[in-house]
Amino acid sequence: MATAARGQELLSTDFLAQLERLALLSRRSFRGRVKGERRSPRKGHSVEFSDYRPYGPGDDLRYVDWNIYGRLDRLYVKLFVDEEDLCLHLLLDASASMGVGEPSKLAYAARLAAALGFVGLVNHERVGVGALRGRLAEGWAPARGRTQAVPLMDFLGRLRSGGGTSLNESLATYALRAREAGLAVLVSDLLDPGGYERGLKALLERRFDVHVIHLLAAEEMSPTFGGDLRLLDLETGEERDLTLDGDALRGYRQRLHDFLERAEGFCRANEISYHRVVTATPVEEFMLRQLKGFLLA
């Protein structure tokens, strides 16, 4: 069983300073129960004037500009810039397979989530976390404000990998329980025999803006061992004897290629943003180079 890390050790001071200058990007507009700090392209009724348009049946007479009516004898209503309340939902696979690697995939996922969550909190967005195993195992309720950064990192630092995977069930449960939609980021190795497609579609059906960060360990991408092996499935306990020779390695690489292609193809076909990263890539590099323009502005 692998742990993520101590909360205070997840992100360096220099990296936090770089994250301070970033903001979250969403391809959809969300209106929450509380007014937020994010400008939305929708026209609403906040305090900042935007434009006029002709009056139409059903428009609120409180927003008619009577000065224009007095000059032009025509009715126009004022438009204002609406504010958007964005909630970032960080969904981390915490099953046993996420304990593989050095650093473990879970430790890497926790650092990614901490960095994204910090960006959200310093920009007055709400941030919540769901840890996924055989079901929705635990969570950190959406919270807002810079003061929540340390509690968020402490929660992420306490996460432990263990148990089986049921991404379809856990994602569907999260989608159902979430009080409102928002920006959903799944960080997972997607190693679930039952698949993940139905779970991701459940988020889409609730109108989440969905991103997948497909996380793999370096040894999964390029195995360095060989010979006669006994393999243990961390999630089911099943053992299998295998001779890893040249033919077996070629077969593994082909199946891995097909697996990665299917994941990316499914996401593209369903307008889900897909990002793949190997744990050997520094989190800072992945965040600032690969996610800039997709999740971060």
Q: Could you write out the DSSP letters of every residue in 56-69? A: -TT--GGGB-HHHH
Q: State in Å, rounded, how far the first CA of the chain is from the last one.
A: 35
Residue 172 CA neighbour count, 13 Å, CB half: 11
- pTM, full prediction: 0.79
pLDDT at 229: 59
b/e string for 116-129 if b means 16 or more Cβ within 10 A? bbbbbbbbebbbbb
Tell me which fold the domain 7-30+85-290 belongs to. Answer: Rossmann fold (3.40.50)
Q: Is the peptide bond prior to 151 cis by the omega test (within 30 degrees of 0)? A: no
C-alpha dihedral, 222 to 94 to 206 to 296, nearest 10°: -60
Most confident of 24-38, 162-176, 267-281: 267-281
User: How many angstroms separate the CA atoms of 91 and 131, rounded?
Assistant: 6
Residue ranges matching CATH 3.40.50.410 in the chain: 7-30+85-290
Query: 130 and 89 in contact (C-beta within 8 Å)?
Result: yes
Using the predicted structure, report yes or no on whether residue 32 has a pLDDT greater than 50: no
Question: What is the rounded average pLDDT of the residues 50-66?
Answer: 73
pLDDT at 42 over 60: no
Q: Read off the pLDDT of residues 175-220 as tens digits, 9 standing for 90 and up.
A: 999 988 999 999 999 999 999 999 999 999 999 999 999 999 999 8
62 pLDDT above the threshold of 50: yes
In percent, the amount of the chain with pLDDT more than 90 equals 55
